[in-house]
Structure 1
Amino acid sequence: MEIQNDSPVNPKQVTSAQERGNPADVAQSGDFNNSNSKKKKAPDTEGGTAKGTILSIKLAPATDLWTTLKNGSVKLRMEETCCGGVSPLTVTQMFQKTVDLCGDHVAIGFKQEKQWKTLTFAQYYAECRKAAKSFLKLGLERFHGVGILGFNSPEWLIANVGAIMAGGLAVGIYATNSPEACKYVALHCEANILVVENANQLKKILEVQNQLPHLKAIIQYKFALEVRQPNIYMWKAFMKIGEKIPESKLDEIIDSQVANQCCTLIYTSGTTGVPKAVMLSQDNLTWTANTAGKMVDIKPAAREKVVSFLPMSHIAAQMMDIWIPMKFGAATYFAEPDALKGSLVNTLREVRPTAFLGVPRVWEKIEEKMKETSAGSSALKRKIAIWAKDIGLKAGYNNMYGNTHVPCGFALANSLVFKKVRVLLGLDHCTKYFTGAAPITKDTLEFFLSLRIPIFELYGMSESTGPHTVSQKDFFRMTSCGKTMDGCKTKIDKPDELGSGEICFWGRNIFMGYLNMGEQTREAIDKAGWLHSGDLGKFDEDDFLYITGRIKELIITAGGENIAPVPIEDSVKSKLPIISNAMLIGDKRKFLSMLLTLKCYMDDETGAPLDALAPTSVVFCHKNECPATFVSEVLRKHDPAFYKAIQDGIDAVNSKATSNAQKIQKWVILEKDFSIIGGELGPTMKLRRGVVLKMYKDIIESFYVD
C-alpha cells in the first residue's frame, strides 16, 4: 500500500536555489528517513487497499542524499505534497501489489517457434522467485552483482527482478560490449553470477573469467551449450537448482530489503572515461515508475502493451519495458533480436502496442522507409499523401495548443491516409508515441505529426532513473522535451541573457551516487543536493523545457565563441536528405568543419553499413547528375554537380548562421556511415563524438593544414 495525495499540484519551475530555498531542508522534513519501522495511518490509495490500513515503513539509517557504497543508504527526497509524498516501496512490494490486482493479466509476450506465448503476472512473479532462489543456491551474496549480457527476453527480465529479490544488484551489460568491457563491469560490481544469451556472449566471458575473482556461475539462456564446465548452466537447469531453498528463506531476504538502498546498477557508456555505475535505489525505480506512468497517462485498467527492443541495459528501456509495466499491469512483448535491422515493424503489426518508445534514429529510419515507399507509388497517390499531410500538420498544431478544430477535409484524409499508415506501421492501437535518449529533429517530428502520429519527447538521464521532464497529448510542444514530472523540480543554473543555463534536477528520481566514485559523484550532485545534468536548456513562459546544447559537447572556437553543434548538424541533415550523419568539428580551431556520411543500406545480420546507397540517396544523386548507386562510386567519380548540391545545402545552413564563426568552412564525405558495430554510435544510436574524433583524426587534421 502507498500513501497517495490525489490533489493536483503543478511542478514549480525555479531558476535559482534562492527562489525555492535549500532542497536539503525539504529532504529532512517528514518522518520517513530513519532506521526504525513506523506505523502510519494511510489515506485512501488507488490500489484497492482498505481505508485506514496500518502501513509499516522501513528505511535504512541515512544522513546524506548520496553514497558511493554498494550497501549504503540515502535520505529520500520526500515532499509534503503531490507525488513526492507517496510512501516508499521496494520492487517486490510493488510487484506483489500488481499481482494481487492483475495476477491473471498478460505480463510478458514472446515468440517461441514462431508462435506467441505469454506469462501472466502471477506466473511472471513465480518465475522471478524461482530465479531468486537459484541465485541464492549458487552463492549470490548481498549487494553483489548479477550481470546480464544479451538481447531483451523474458529471461532477461526474470534474471533482473530475481537478482533484486535475492538481495543482489541487477546489472545490465550492453550486448555489444567487448570481453574487456564485460570484464570491467563484472569486476566493478563484484558479480557473483553472469547471465548470457548465447555462445557468442558466453565466449566473451570465458576469455576473461579467470580475471573475475567474485564469479561463481555462468548461466546461458538461449540455444545449446557449446562449452561444458562445472559452473556453467543452461537456463532450464538453473531454474531448478533452487527448488529446495525454502520459500521462507527468500521471504526473509525480501522482507529485509528497504527502499533507500541500491538494487540495480546502470553503467554509462564510458565515452568520456571509464564507465560509471549509476546506483539506483528501490525507491528510485518504484517511485519513478509510478510518477512517470501517471504523467504519461498509463492506465492500470487499460491493459496497455509495449514492445521491448531497445537495449535493456539502458534505463529508458528498463523504465518502459520493466518497471512501468510492472507498476501498472501492462504487458511487455519482446521483439526479435534483429529488430533494429528491419524486423521491428513486423513485431509492431503483430502486437499492436498502445505505447511505443523509439530513440530518434528509430523514428528517422521509419521515416526514411516510408519516404522510399512513397517515392515508388503513383503520382496520384503521392498527391493525395501531400494533401493529407498538409491537413494533418495543421490539425496537429491546432491540437498542440488545445484547439480541437480540424481543417476541412480532415475526415477524408484520415480515412484515406492516416488510418492506413498507422495500420501499416502496427501503431493503429497506439495512443502514446515517445522519443528520448538523444536529440530529434523538427523535420522528423513534423513528418509524423502530419500523419497524426504526435511524438512526445521525454528528457532525463540514467542519474534521474530515466525521465525527469515528460510530454503527452495534453501538454507537448514542437522540439520541447515537456514539463517537469510531478514531485520533481528543475533549476536553470547560471542562466544567460536568453534564460539558457545548465539544467539541474531535484526529486526522488535522483540516483544514489556512482559506485565507488566519490569525486565523480560530488561533481554530479552539488552540496545542496541538485543533480547537474551537463545539458543546457531554458523554459518558455508555459514551463516547457527546451534543450539548447550540452556543456561537454559545446565547441569553443579559437576565437572564444561557444557553439552548440546539434542545431547546426540537424540543419544540414534537414537541407540534405542524402545525409545520414553529420558531425561538427571545431573545438579550439580557427573555423568549423564537418564530417558527413551518406544514407546507405545496412547489413541485416550485423548492422554494419554497406556500400550500396539507400533509395533516397540514389534519387538525390540522379537529380544532381550523378549516376552512382554506391558510396564508393560517389567518392571516386566526384561529380561536380553532386558536390555542388552538397555545398549548396551547406551554404543554405550557413546563410542562417548568427556569425561567421558559426559557418561551416570545410566538409568531407566519409567512406562509410556511422553504426553501433563500427563504434561511432552508442547502444541507443547516440553519436559518440570522442570515438569519432579519434577514428577520423587524420581527416580532421587535414582540414586545418595551412
Structure 2
Amino acid sequence: MSETQTLIQNRPPSVATLFLERVAATPDAEAYRRPVPAESGEGPDGWKSLTWAEAAARVYAIAAGLMDLGVRPEERVAIAAETSVDWILSDLGVLCAGAATTTVYPTTNADETAFILADSGSRVLIADTAEQLAKVRDHRAELPDLAHVVVMTPGDAADPGDGWVLSLDELEKRGAAYLEQHPTAVTDVVGSLTKDQLATLIYTSGTTGRPKGVRLPHDAWSYMARAIEAIDLLDENDVQYLWLPLAHVFGKVLTVGHIAVGHVTAVDGRVDRIVANLPVVRPTYMAAVPRIFEKVYNGVAAKAREGGAAKYRIFQWATEVARDYARTTQNSMRLTGIAKAPAGLRAKHAVADRLVYGKLREAFGGQLRACVSGSAALAPEIGYFFSGAGIHILEGYGLTESSAASFVNPGEAYRTGTVGKALPGLEVRIGEDGEILLRGPGIMQGYHGQPGLTAEVLEPDGWFHTGDIGELSPDGFLKITDRKKDLIKTSGGKYIAPAEVEGSFKAVCPMVSNVLVLGGGRNFCTALIALDEPAILGWAAENGLERRPYEEVVATDEVRDLITGYVDQLNEGLQRWQQIKKFRILPRDLDVEHGDLTPSLKLKRPVVEREFAGLIEEMYAGAREA
C-alpha cells in the first residue's frame, strides 16, 4: 500500500478528531489571523494572530455551550454570517458538540432563510449581526425547532426577554462553566463520533426553485482533509488568504485542508478589502472564483489603457507574450516533464516581466505560489495570461454534492483549460452521453428529506451523476465542456456549449463583466452582455462620455460600436453556428442582490432570461436567417 493510500485509508472518523490531533501536535503554532480595523478608519488594518491552542479553547467553549443549550448529536446548528475566524470556530464548535452545521449565506433573504432553518430542523442559529437576527425574529412562529439565536456581535444581541437570544460571548461563558462541571464532555463526544454521522447540511443556492439540503457526513470532510494533505498542494509554511463564503462548499473545504496541513490562514470575508489586504497579508496561497481573476484582468487592462496608447500597446504585447510563454512551457512540461521555452520567447518574457508581470505579482503580495480557481469555468485565455505572468492558477472541480474538491491541477504540472486530476480515493467515469460520474468518500449521503431527488442523481452502487459534460485525457486530466442541461441545441440541430463561447468572449473583451449566450431552439446565437462598470466608465472618460452614469454610457452608439468590434473579433474564432449574430448590452451589471448570480457568483441563466425576456425577443423578432 502506498503512502497516499495509507494516509487516506487510516483517516480519523471526523474533522473534529483531526482538529484535536492538530491542536495536540502544534498547540503554539499560529493557526489564524483576523483583521483588526485601524482606529482612524484610514490606512491598512492590523492583523491579530490566534494559535491552535487559543483556537481550541474557544472551540471547546462553543461546543460545551451548545451542549448546555441542549443541542445533541446530529441536531442542526445553523450559521448565517460573513466569512470570519468566528465562523470557523463556531463551525468547529458545532462539530465538536457532535451536532451538524447548516450553512446559510448572509445574503439570503428572510423567507429563504426561514425555509432553510425549518427544512433542516435547526435548533440554534449562530448569526453575526442584528440584520441576520431580524430575518428570523419575524418568522419565529414558523420555526418551532429554533430554540436559540446566538449573535456574534454583543451589541446586536437584543434579547426579547425569554432567553431566546444570547451573544457568542455569553455562549462561551456558559460553555466554560459547563466544562467545569463536565471537563471531558467535548473529548467524550468527539471520541464517540462515527464517520457516517451527519456533519454538514449545505443548501445549494441553485438556479431554479427552492434550495436542496446536501447531507455530508463527517467522513466526507475527514477524507477531503487527508486527500488535500496527500497531494502536497499545501505545506505547513504556507500562508493562505481566505475570503470565500464559508456557507459555500468551496470555502468549507479550505478550512478542513488547513487543519490537516497546519499552515496559517488569514481570514477576512470582506470582498471590498481583497485588494488592500493582499499586500499586507502577502499570501503564498489563495483560492478564488473566476470572476475575481476576470476583474483583476479587466482592472489591469483598464489601468494600462489610462496610461496612454503606448502603455496600452505594451500591455497588449505583454499579454500575448504571457499566453505564448504559458502554452509553450505547459506543453513542454506535458511532453518532457520540464517547463522550457525557446531563447527568443524567454528574452521577450523577461522584458515583459520587468514592464508588466512583476507589478502584477506585487499587487498580489509578491509571495503568491499558487491560486486555486473553482466554482465555475475560468476562460483559458485569462488563465494563460496569469500563468505566463507568474501567477499560477490551478483550476479544480467539484460540487456541493461531492464536498467541493474532486479534481485539482497538480502543482507545476498544471494544464490551463483543464480541472486537473482526480483526488486520490475518487473514482471517475464518463457516461455514454459524456456526463461525468463520480464515486468515493466525498460524495453526499443524499438530499435532506428528498429521497426522490436523491435517486435521480445517486445510483444504489454509489455513482453520482454530476450533470456536467467532460472529457478525460489518457493521463487523467479532466476538461469540463459544459453543464448537461445548459448545452444549446439550435433549430438546425447543432450543439453549442455556451460556457465555452462566454469564456472566449471574456478573454477577448476587457470590458465585459458577465455574458449570457442564447440560442436553444433558435436558428442562430445571441448574447446578453453586462459590462464591468469601472472599466467602461474609465473608457468613457477617455472618449468624450465623462460624467455620465453607467446606464447612459452603455446605451450610447459609441459603446455599442466598441462592443461590436469585440464580438466580431470573437466570431472570427468560432464555427458559423457558434457565432453571435446579435447582442444587447444590459442596463446594469448582473449581481447577487438582484438574484442574477448565486452567492458563489454563478450565473442563474433562467433568472436572467426571465428578467430580460424583452431584450431576447427583440433580438429574435422577425429573424429568419442564421
TM-score (norm 2): 0.90
Aligned twin of 1:102: 26
In the other structure, the counterpart of 1:658 is 575
* Equivalent residue for 1:331, pick from 261, 264, 273: 264
Are 2:195 and 1:267 equivalent residues in the alignment? Answer: no
Structure 2 counterpart of 1:234, which letter? S
Q: What secondary structure, in the 3-state scheme, does the structure 2 residue paired with 1:224 have?
A: helix
Shift in CA distance, 423/141, structure 1 to aligned 2, threshold 3 Å? same
Number of the residue aligned with 2:42 = none
Partner of 1:86: 10
CA distance in 1, matches of 2:490, 2:317: 45
Distance 1:188 1:106 in 2: 38
The verdict on how the C-alpha distance between 1:346 and 1:336 changes in structure 2, with shifts beyond 3 A counting, is farther
Query: 1:682 Cα shift?
Result: 1.1
Q: Give the 3 Å change call, closer, same or farther, for CA 169–446 of structure 1 in structure 2.
A: same
- The alpha-carbon deviation at position 656 of structure 1 amounts to 4.0
The correspondence for 1:425, drawn from 342, 364, 375, is 364
- What's the CA shift for 1:89? 2.7
Q: Counterpart amino acid of 2:529?
A: L
Answering whether residue 184 of structure 2 is matched by residue 248 of structure 1, we say yes
Against the structure 1 CA distance between its residues 347 and 648, is the aligned structure 2 distance closer, same or farther, given a 3 Å change threshold? closer
- Where does residue 677 of structure 1 map in the other structure? 593
How far apart are residue 699 of structure 1 and its match? Answer: 2.6
Give the TM-score normalised by the residue count of structure 1.
Answer: 0.80
The 2-side partners of 1:419 and 1:627 are apart by 31
In 1, Cα distance between equivalents of 2:539 and 2:422: 38
Q: 1:632 aligns with which of 534, 538, 551?
A: 551
- Answer with 176-185 or 514-523: which moved more: 514-523
- Looking at structure 2, the residues matched to 411 and 581 of structure 1 have their Cα atoms a distance apart, in angstroms, of 33
**What's the counterpart of residue 317 of structure 1?**
251
Q: Contact 1:196–1:219 at 8 Å: present in 2 too?
A: yes
Contact 1:613-1:630 at 8 Å conserved across structures? no
The structure where helix makes up a greater share of residues is 2
Cα 1:271/1:252, change in 2 over 3 Å: same
CA gap of 1:379–1:573, structure 2 versus 1, over 3 A, is: closer
Aligned twin of 2:517:
584
Matches within 5 A, 1:57-456: 81=5, 85-114=9-38, 115-222=46-153, 224-225=155-156, 227-229=158-160, 230-245=163-178, 246-300=182-236, 302=237, 304-320=238-254, 322-335=255-268, 337=270, 339=271, 341=272, 343-377=273-307, 392-400=322-330, 401-402=332-333, 403-405=338-340, 407-408=346-347, 414=353, 417-426=356-365, 428-456=366-394
The answer to whether the 8 A contact 1:475-1:482 is kept is no
Conserved in 2, the CA contact under 8 Å of 1:83 and 1:487? no
- d(CA) in 1 for partners of 2:73 and 2:141? 22
> Conserved in 2, the CA contact under 8 Å of 1:600 and 1:617?
no
What SS does structure 2 have at the residue aligned with 1:218? strand
User: Per-residue deviation at 1:264?
Assistant: 0.8
2:423 matched to 1:485? yes
CA distance in 2, matches of 1:185, 1:617: 44
Secondary structure of the residue aligned to 1:532 is strand
Q: Is the 8 A contact 1:613 1:629 kept in 2?
A: no
Distance 1:366-1:643 versus aligned 2 partners, 3 A rule: closer
Please, which moves more after superposition, 442-451 or 82-91? 82-91
SS in 1 for 2:95: helix
Q: Report if the CA contact (8 A) 1:90-1:259 is conserved.
A: yes
The code of the aligned residue for 1:589 comes to R
Structure 1 stretch 253-262 or stretch 587-596: which is displaced more?
Answer: 587-596
Residue 181 (structure 1) shift: 0.8
8 A contact 1:141–1:192 mirrored in 2: no
SS across alignment from 2:61: helix
Larger mean CA deviation between 209-218 and 134-143 belongs to: 134-143
Output one character per residue of 1:98-150: Cα deviation in whole Å (capped at 9) or x when no partner: 11221111111112343321111111112111001111111213322111111
Distance 1:151 1:380, change over 3 A: same
Q: CA deviation at 1:309?
A: 1.1
Shift of 1:648: 4.0
Answer yes or no: is the 8 Å Cα contact 1:308–1:335 preserved in 2.
Answer: yes
Following the alignment from structure 2 to structure 1, what is the Cα–Cα distance between the partners of residues 495 and 103? 36
CA deviations 1:215-240 (Å, max 9, x no partner) are: 11111112512633221112211210
Contact 1:432–1:472, Cα closer than 8 Å, also in 2: no
Q: 1:480–1:82: structure 2 CA closer, same or farther, 3 Å change rule?
A: farther
Please, which runs of 5 or more residues in structure 2 have no aligned partner?
Answer: 39-45
Report if the CA contact (8 A) 1:390-1:450 is conserved.
no
Write the mapping of 1:448-487 to structure 2, written as runs, cut at 5 A: 448-487=386-425
Q: Percent identity?
A: 27
Residues 650 and 664 in structure 1, CA contact (< 8 A), matched pair in contact too: yes
Q: Deviations over 1:3-23 (max 9, x none)?
A: xx4357xxxxxxxxxxxxxxx
For the residues of structure 2 that align with 1:659 and 1:522, how far apart are their CA atoms? 40
Q: Can you list the C-alpha shifts for 1:198-228, whole angstroms capped at 9, x where unaligned?
A: 1111111112122101011111112512633
Computed over aligned residues only, the root mean square deviation of the Cα atoms, in angstroms, reads 2.5
Residue-by-residue CA offset, 1:293-329 (whole Å, 9 max, x unaligned): 33252123x2x22122111101111111x11111111
Q: How does 1:564-603 map to 2 (within 5 A)?
A: 564-601=497-534
C-alpha separation in 1, matches of 2:92 and 2:267: 17
Distance 1:236 1:527, change over 3 A: closer
Structure 1, unaligned stretches of length 5 or more? Answer: 9-80, 496-500, 602-611
Any conservation in 1 of the 2:430–2:437 contact (CA below 8 Å)? Answer: yes
Deviation at 1:658, TM superposition (A): 3.0
* 2: CA distance, partners of 1:209 / 1:89: 36
d(CA) in 1 for partners of 2:154, 2:495: 52
Deviation at 1:635, TM superposition (A): 5.2
Aligned AA (1:349): P
Contact (CA 8 Å) 2:13, 2:193: kept in 1 or not?
no
